[in-house]
Structure 1
Amino acid sequence: MPIKLEVGDRVELKKQHPCGSKAFEIMRTGADFRVKCLGCEKQIWLVRSELERRIRKITPKNEE
């Protein structure tokens, strides 16, 4: 069962981005996800299965 993720949600990943940040914002959902690093604003594409495996914590956009 896929994890429920929506555009605007923030996720903390297990591995950090080369800039040092572990926080990302979801920009696009579907089979592939586009996420934006909140440290350096770089956007990357990840396959759903890869993103779900890397997620440590989810912060929904309405809880910020």
Structure 2
Amino acid sequence: MYELHDMVQMKKPHACGTNRFEIIRLGMDIKIKCTGCGHIVMMPRGEFDKKLKKVLERE
């Protein structure tokens, strides 16, 4: 479904206005990095699965 360093699109954009994130850590928690401002967000896998819209680019 998604792997490390994939580019993903979330349902809601980040505060900086971009909607593109890079997955930088996988596990029970998933860490994503905003490609616009570089802010890092960490969330549980279940929450990430709900908020994920689609995978844009595969690594």
Q: TM-score, length-normalised on structure 2?
A: 0.91
Q: 2:54, 2:41 → 1: CA distance?
A: 18
What's the Cα RMSD here? Answer: 0.8
State the one-letter code of the partner of 2:32.
Answer: V
Shift of 1:5: 2.1
Q: Which residue does 1:47 correspond to in 2?
A: 44
Give the residue type in structure 1 aligned to 2:28: A
1:38 paired with 2:32, answer: no
Unpaired stretches in structure 2, ≥5 consecutive residues: none
Structure 1 segments of 4+ aligned residues over 6 angstroms from their partners = none
Higher normalized contact order (CA 8 Å, seq sep 6+, divided by chain length): 2
Q: Secondary structure at the match of 1:19?
A: coil
Shift of 1:54: 0.8
SS in structure 2 at match of 1:52:
helix
Query: By percentage of residues, which structure has more strand?
Result: 2
CA–CA distance in structure 1, aligned partners of residues 54 and 31 of structure 2? 17
Tell whether the 8 Å contact from 1:5 to 1:29 is kept in structure 2 after alignment.
no
Percent sequence identity over aligned pairs: 36
Q: Helix, strand or coil: the match of 1:56?
A: strand
Give the TM-score normalised by the residue count of structure 1. 0.84
**Number of residues paired by the alignment?**
58
